[in-house]
């Protein structure tokens, strides 16, 4: 159930969804341009000027949307299929490793890790980081679960949902579920919440990309000219990406997201090996890093958008890669303890 819908339906094309709520004369391309212009401002200006002002509003809308769909399921008397261990995907995609890549942002997210430098400018204490990051990811997981439940209950089965996705597209499915469960006004509010998801991912993604490129190139970002030198080509690439199949594009994003999480966890492990008072604390990051190493390697080996290698080869290869990574960690751990 989650494998089919979580992180897929409402992340793909915000412009297509907005186009459904506005006069046809404006069209999807118009909203793509509007969104890209917003991204320009969000990427260029200080974080507290636009993003900091809009995000509380987006947050309220997101929560309202989730509550609305949840109430719609209950009041509408929709039947949610029972959670079972069987693979319910119509195409019988294997749960391992696809599940752990599909629920990328709701489980463990390298993309969210890139937001740390920006979030640090918006909180008064480092202690608030746990509430911000853990709270946000838990909330995102709940929202994903609600939409997964809404999708399969509205269309009856995962196959029904899959058929709807094939015929209507992601924006059509979100529109159908929202208006079908909540009516006109409630449906529009739910869709606005859905639109906020990808837009708020895009603005911070471009912003963090600018900061990363600035660090790599050494361009001082206090100068607006230097900001434009990085921002304009970056957003031009983003505009080109809007012309691609979002289904495929999202899979690459999900895999790169989990791969970035894997790399970040190993970097954190290396840092803790050097600076942690108790080096056994490194297991807190080393164990999930090992798990994510297996996920990322197995997925890219067997996925169609990867190397399309058979599972009987991809599975042991992914496990072997993760064991090699863990073996390097154990070697570094023993070596560090001897020095201590």
Distance CA 204, CA 69 (A): 26
Mean pLDDT of the chain: 80
pLDDT of 68: 87
Distance CA 274, CA 340 (A): 10
Instruction: Kindly tell me if the per-residue pLDDT of 316 is higher than 90.
Output: yes
Question: Do residues 336 and 279 make contact, with C-beta atoms less than 8 angstroms apart?
Answer: yes
Distance CA 196, CA 59 (A): 8
**What confidence category does residue 292 fall into, taking pLDDT thresholds of 50, 70 and 90?**
very high
**What confidence category does residue 225 fall into, taking pLDDT thresholds of 50, 70 and 90?**
confident
Question: Do residues 234 and 209 make contact, with C-beta atoms less than 8 angstroms apart?
Answer: yes
Distance CA 252, CA 101 (A): 10
Distance CA 38, CA 50 (A): 9
Any idea which residue has 């992340």 for tokens? 11
Planar angle of CA 236, 240, 243, nearest 5 degrees: 155
**The two three-digit tokens of residue 102, written as one number:** 């599909």
Distance CA 56, CA 75 (A): 28
Most confident of the ranges 210-214, 293-297, 332-336: 293-297
Question: Do residues 319 and 294 make contact, with C-beta atoms less than 8 angstroms apart?
Answer: yes
pLDDT of 317: 96
**The two three-digit tokens of residue 262, written as one number:** 């894997």
pLDDT of 300: 95
Looking at residues 140-165, what average pLDDT do you find? 86
Distance CA 152, CA 156 (A): 5
**The two three-digit tokens of residue 63, written as one number:** 């929560």
**The two three-digit tokens of residue 29, written as one number:** 């391309």
pLDDT of 183: 81
Distance CA 161, CA 78 (A): 14
Pick from 59, 42, 49: which is nearest to 211 by CA? Answer: 42
pLDDT of 105: 66
Looking at residues 86-93, what average pLDDT do you find? 75
pLDDT of 9: 37
The answer for residues whose C-beta is within 8 angstroms of residue 206's C-beta and 6 or more apart is 39, 42, 43, 231, 234, 235, 238
pLDDT of 112: 65
Looking at residues 135-149, what average pLDDT do you find? 82
pLDDT of 6: 34
Question: Do residues 21 and 188 make contact, with C-beta atoms less than 8 angstroms apart?
Answer: yes
Instruction: Kindly tell me if the per-residue pLDDT of 19 is higher than 80.
Output: no
**The two three-digit tokens of residue 304, written as one number:** 């169609």
Most confident of the ranges 63-67, 80-84, 184-188, 280-284: 280-284
Greatest C-alpha distance within the chain:
71
Q: How confident is the model over 121-134, as pLDDT tens digits?
A: 777 887 887 787 77
Percent pLDDT > 70 in the chain is 85
pLDDT of 22: 63
Looking at residues 24-35, what average pLDDT do you find? 72
User: Radius of gyration of the chain from Cα atoms?
Assistant: 21
Distance CA 11, CA 201 (A): 9
CA distances, 309 to each of 3, 223, 306 (Å): 21, 48, 8
């Amino acid at each position: 159930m989650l494998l089919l819908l979580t992180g897929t339906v409402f992340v793909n094309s915000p412009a297509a969804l907005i186009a459904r709520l506005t006069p046809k004369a404006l069209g999807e391309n118009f909203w793509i341009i509007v969104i890209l212009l917003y991204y320009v401002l969000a990427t260029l200006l200080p974080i507290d000027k636009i993003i900091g002002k809009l995000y509380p509003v987006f947050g309220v809308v997101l929560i309202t949307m989730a509550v609305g769909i949840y109430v719609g399921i209950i009041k509408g008397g929709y039947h949610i299929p029972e959670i079972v261990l069987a693979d319910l995907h119509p195409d019988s995609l294997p749960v391992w490793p696809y599940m752990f890549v599909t629920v990328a942002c709701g489980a463990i997210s390298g993309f969210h890790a890139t937001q740390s430098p920006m979030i640090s400018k918006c909180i008064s204490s480092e202690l608030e980081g746990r509430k911000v990051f853990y709270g946000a990811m838990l909330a995102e997981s709940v929202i994903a679960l609600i939409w997964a439940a809404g999708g399969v209950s509205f269309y009856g089965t995962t196959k029904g949902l899959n058929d709807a996705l094939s015929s209507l597209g992601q924006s059509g499915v979100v529109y159908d579920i929202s208006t079908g469960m909540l009516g006109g006004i409630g449906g529009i509010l739910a869709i606005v919440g859905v639109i906020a998801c990808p837009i708020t991912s895009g603005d911070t993604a471009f912003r963090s990309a600018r900061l990363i490129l600035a660090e790599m190139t050494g361009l001082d970002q206090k100068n607006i000219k230097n900001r434009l030198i990085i921002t304009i080509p970056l957003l031009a690439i983003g505009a080109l990406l809007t012309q691609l199949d979002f289904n495929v594009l999202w899979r690459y994003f999900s895999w790169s997201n989990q791969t970035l999480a894997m790399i970040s966890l190993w970097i954190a492990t290396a840092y803790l090996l050097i600076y942690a008072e108790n080096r056994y604390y490194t297991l807190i990051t080393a164990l999930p890093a090992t798990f994510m190493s297996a996920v990322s390697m197995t997925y890219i080996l067997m996925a169609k958008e990867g190397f399309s290698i058979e599972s009987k080869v991809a599975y042991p290869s992914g496990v072997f890669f993760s064991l090699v990574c863990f073996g390097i960690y154990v070697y570094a751990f023993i070596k560090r303890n001897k020095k201590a």
